[in-house]
Structure formats: structure tokens, C-alpha cells
Structure 1
Amino acid sequence: MSAPISAGYLTPAEERIRSGTVTVTGPQGTPFPEGEPVPDWDYFTDLTASWPLHVDLPGVLQDCGLSPAAAVHCLVTWHSSSTNRRDNSSPARLVDGGNRLTVAIPGTEIGGILTLTARMVLAAPDPAPISPLAALRPGAILWQARRRFTLEGSGSRFPVVATSFAESGLAEGRRSLWYLSCAPDLDGSDTGSIRLYLNTDHPAITAMLSQPEAEASRTLAEVLRHDVVRQLIQTALRCEDLQDEHDQGEGTLGELFINLIRRYFPGRSLSDLRSQHRNDPSELEAVIQGLDRVLA
């Protein structure tokens, strides 16, 4: 076993800090605890993370060699595996007893695995430290812990790009709402094969991004989410190499297609769905609408 890495200054004993159940909550208000995947998530579902802490503050200060006048702040940071975006809550002064750390997480910036990290940091130099081994620099991390959440759903893996179609030339520079790009390479990376472009030239898109909680924005986001699902299912059914009995590699576009189709059509084979798609594609689209409960 390797020796623990020293921070170079005193840190508190673990028993001084007790974490409660860390949760992630969507707009509908249902909290999902650590260890459970967040189901039916998509890029237009903003999340709120909550991390309760019970802290023996006098004990923390004593263990760290800090005086009672020392300012220790707590905050929670988030990181997304698929977008590599990260941010944090505003630091709050740590108090003795109950503390609750919360952070708002924009859905358009996350996907894959969401990692939350709670931290206690020295906010300012202690005017009268009681130990020469006490942390001195502002921002020194006195304690931290991590929790991970898996974001599930049709929008959990591929990136979203907000861009001007007029400047980029997408959709011939027209005033389209969005464009879903999908390179149908079943063995390719799901993250790299699909990209959703949002046209910032369109006022409805800019309103949805800047005011996601507005009723019109929520309606448009739901229609967009459904359109992404519809297009992905159609693309999957056009891929003749995608077969029920084939084992798709983890993290591939093929795996994403299979998981999406099984979610919507758990009792039907790909050959059956392809037959319906060829013979009556409009009916299949209507079926997907009903299964997706669009605007219902």
C-alpha cells in the first residue's frame, strides 16, 4: 500500500465531518441520491446538486492548527466527463453543525458522468494560527470528498454546440432552429459521432438558452429533445449492420442506438421496426410521439 500524500499542512480528522446523502434534482423536483443513475436526463434538463454536511467546526480548527478567528469556507464543484466542463458554487462560510452546499448545473454543459466534489478551504490567512504547520495560503484545501452520478437518457453522451448558422454555414446559413449531425459509424465513439448544433441566430433558441425556465423555452426544449430521439431512431433503423444479436462495444454509437431502441421498443426486433419504417414511416413517427408523450 502506498503512503498517503501529504498536503504540506495540517488537515482535520475524518470524524470531524459527516456527509449526508448527496442528491441531484431536476426541474420536476425528484431528488436522486448518490449511487443511482439520473434517468431520462437530457441536455435541456438543468440540475441542482445538494450536499449536506455536519461539521464539528471547533474540532476542525483544532486539528488544522487554526485559531477560532480563521475563516474556512465550503463549496461544491462539478465536472462533466463528456464535455470536460466544470464550475462551482459560491463559497459559503463554514459553520458549526449543519451546512448545506448547493450548486446549479446547466444541462447544456454536462453529460456522461457527473462528478461532485465538496471542499473546505482556507478563505484568508489566519491572523493567529496556533501551529506552525497550519495552512497559510488562501484556497488551501483542508478537506474534500467526491460523489459520482451517471446521467442517463438520449442526451447523456453527445455534445451540444450553440453557434451562429449564418457564420458557420450550417444548414446553408438559414434561420433553422437546430441541426443534429450524426456520422453512422456503429463502431465509432458515441461522443464523437453525434453533435447537436443550436442556431443562436434564432430568437427562440437564444431565449431557450438564456431563460430555460420560461414556459416557451421548456416547450421548445421538449420538442427539441423529442426531435433528437426521433432522428436517432430513424438513423439507427437505416443502419443495416445494426443487429439485435450483435454485441455492440461499450461507448460506441452502436451501443447508444441499441439502448435507445430497447428503451422505446423493448418488445420489438430491429427487423420488425425496419419493416414498419420502410412501409409506413409516418405511423412509426406517430408511435414514437406517443411513446415520448410529447407536450403531454
Structure 2
Amino acid sequence: MDVVATGPWLRVADSGLDELTSELPGWDYDSVLRLRRPVRVDGLRARRSCGLEPDADLAITVVWSATSSALRGRAWTASVPPEKDVDLEIDFELAGGELGGRLDLETLLTLRSAGSNAGPAAPRRLGSVLWRDVHPILLQGEAVLFPLSVVDFEHLPYPTGAAWHLELGHDLEAQALGSILLLANSRRHNVTSALASAAEPSDADRRVLSALRTDVIRSLVERALVDEEFSVEDDHEVGSIGALLAAVLRHAFPDRSLEALRRDRAHDPILFTTRVQAATELLAES
């Protein structure tokens, strides 16, 4: 057998266990996603094949990441003893408010400690990945980026003709989940209709959602560039606004430094806006 043998991802529902497919159209932000997965690990072979002794400390870990919120975290972990057949059952819950877009479930066999008498080619760095498996799940097609609220802008301090507004807290170390809210104007029926149909959007819905996504990402990029206290290199806490802004910048502009982006925006803001359109693939045909 392989060093690591995995069963299917299973969703725990009121009706029982359902195998997790590549799409989950019935998901929403208020739901709690409980998942299970059986795993069998040959703990002896895993160590031996890497040049490690039985006293090396290995672990199976599951890390989740969501494309829409740019959040990620460790969902589950367990030690792997130095035995031939180690049966584990992955079991954890994810709050819907932290997810959105595509959810990636990454199952990893990692090194916690190399132990004694490790071979010359053996891994030694804490966290070294010895085996990896990724399962992507599409929660929403062109889904919104964050928890949202559909409200009448007549009752808010925003222009009544606006389509949406992104509320974003000022504290870079605050948790993004509680500091970001996308407000959609109930007067703009094409927008609210597109949001309601995000799991199975029509062509018209896709165009609205693409424009929304580009505008939200532009707002986040602008926030990062104008905040003098923000730096991509800072050690922002996982799930914080700072970590979110850093993730958005790295994803949208992987080849540009923060300083270069600030210069681009200052010297030619119109061209910079066009670059954001390209980075977010505004109105690109799927």
C-alpha cells in the first residue's frame, strides 16, 4: 500500500454522511460545514523512506483556505505513531462566515521533529511536508467575497444610487471576519438577483458578479496602498485584516512589491485601475 491511503471526504448532515463532491451549491454563509475523512498511514514506512528513525515525530494535518475571503487555518491535526497501520479519522467543523468561493482542503503529512540519528538526506526543518493531497470544493460560482447584507441605502449614509459598499475596519490586527461586511443596495435589483443566484448564475449575473469582485478587490488594494502602517512583510495574525490585505496583494500582483504598487498608483492612477481590471479578469469569458 501507499504510505498514506485516504478515503473520500464526507459531509456530516442531519440525514447522515454524504460524499463531498467538487461542488456544494446549497452552501451559505450561515451554515456550519462538518467534514470527516478516514486516513491510514504506514508510520514505519513513512519514517524509513525519509531516512528517519522511529523516534521522529510525524503528524497528519488538515489546512483549509478559502479563495473569496483569503482566509486559511489549521482545521485538524493528529500524531502518527511509528506503527505499520495507523488508522485516523479526520473530523472537524468550519464556520460558513469564514469561507466563500472555492474551499481547498489540504491534507498533509508533516515533520514535527527529526528525532535522533536521522540520515544525511532526511528532512529536519519543523513543518517539512512529506506528503500532500488537496481537495478543492466550489462553494459558489462567482460568489461574493465576504458576508453580505442586502439593505436599502436610503437608510444608510451612502449614495442611494450606489450598487454596493464595502465596510472595512481600520485595525489591521482585527479579525477580518468581524470587520468586513459587503452591503448590497436593495434598490439595485440586478445586483441582488445576481447575488441570490451566485451558485448558478446566468450570463448577466456573471457580469454583475465579476464587476462586484473587481471593485471589492480594488477597494482592498487601495486600502493597503494608502495605509502607511501596512506592510506585506509584517507578521500579521492569521485571519486578520492585515493578513487579508497581504494575501489579496500577493494574489493580484505576485510580481510587484508594495513599494512598486504605491509608485504605480501615485504616478498613473488611471493605468493602475486598468491593471486591477486585468489582475481580477474583469468580465473575462469563462
Q: TM-score, normalised by structure 1?
A: 0.51
Q: Counterpart of 1:197?
A: 183
Residue 233 of structure 1 aligns to a residue in which SS? helix
* 2:212 is aligned with 1:224: yes
CA distance in 2, matches of 1:162, 1:228: 16
For the structure 1 residues 151 and 238, does the alpha-carbon distance in structure 2 shift closer, same or farther, using more than 3 Å as the test?
farther
**How far did residue 221 of structure 1 move?**
0.8
Q: Counterpart of 2:223?
A: 235
**How far did residue 177 of structure 1 move?**
0.7
For the structure 1 residues 113 and 222, does the alpha-carbon distance in structure 2 shift closer, same or farther, using more than 3 Å as the test?
closer
CA distance in 2, matches of 1:280, 1:113: 33
CA distance in 1, matches of 2:260, 2:194: 37
Residue 23 of structure 1 aligns to a residue in which SS? coil
**How far did residue 273 of structure 1 move?**
1.0
* 2:69 is aligned with 1:83: no
Q: Counterpart of 2:22?
A: 24
Residue 207 of structure 1 aligns to a residue in which SS? helix
Residue 24 of structure 1 aligns to a residue in which SS? coil
In the TM superposition, structure 1's runs of 4+ consecutive aligned residues that sit over 3 Å from their partners are 34-42, 110-114, 147-152, 154-158, 209-212
**How far did residue 214 of structure 1 move?**
2.4
Does the 8 Å CA contact 2:22/2:136 hold for their aligned counterparts?
A: no
CA distance in 1, matches of 2:263, 2:138: 34
Q: How many residues align?
A: 179
Amino acid at match of 2:194: M
Does the 8 Å CA contact 1:157/1:191 hold for their aligned counterparts?
A: no
Residue 181 of structure 1 aligns to a residue in which SS? strand
Q: Counterpart of 1:169?
A: 156
How big is each residue's C-alpha offset from its partner over 1:196-235, in whole Å with a ceiling of 9 and x where there is no partner? 1001111212322444422211210111011101111011
How big is each residue's C-alpha offset from its partner over 1:144-171, in whole Å with a ceiling of 9 and x where there is no partner? xxx997979x9887321111112x2241
Gaps of 5+ in 2: 1-16, 26-36, 38-61, 70-92, 104-134
* 2:242 is aligned with 1:269: no
CA distance in 2, matches of 1:197, 1:265: 26
* 2:238 is aligned with 1:250: yes
For the structure 1 residues 218 and 184, does the alpha-carbon distance in structure 2 shift closer, same or farther, using more than 3 Å as the test?
same
Does the 8 Å CA contact 1:189/1:251 hold for their aligned counterparts?
A: yes
CA distance in 1, matches of 2:246, 2:172: 10
Tell which structure's C-alpha radius of gyration is larger.
Answer: 1
**How far did residue 278 of structure 1 move?**
1.4
For the structure 1 residues 271 and 151, does the alpha-carbon distance in structure 2 shift closer, same or farther, using more than 3 Å as the test?
farther
CA distance in 1, matches of 2:144, 2:203: 23
**How far did residue 175 of structure 1 move?**
2.5
How big is each residue's C-alpha offset from its partner over 1:29-80, in whole Å with a ceiling of 9 and x where there is no partner? xxxxx868576447xxxxxxxxxxxxxxxxxxxxxxxxxxxxxxxxxxxx86
Gaps of 5+ in 1: 1-18, 28-33, 43-78, 85-109, 115-146
Amino acid at match of 1:23: T
Does the 8 Å CA contact 2:68/2:146 hold for their aligned counterparts?
A: no
CA distance in 2, matches of 1:156, 1:287: 21
- Please identify which structure carries the higher strand content: 2
* 2:169 is aligned with 1:183: yes
Does the 8 Å CA contact 2:152/2:187 hold for their aligned counterparts?
A: yes
**How far did residue 22 of structure 1 move?**
2.0
Q: Matches of residues 104-123 of structure 1 in structure 2 within 5 Å? A: 111=100
CA distance in 2, matches of 1:246, 1:36: 22
CA distance in 1, matches of 2:242, 2:94: 22
For the structure 1 residues 181 and 81, does the alpha-carbon distance in structure 2 shift closer, same or farther, using more than 3 Å as the test?
same
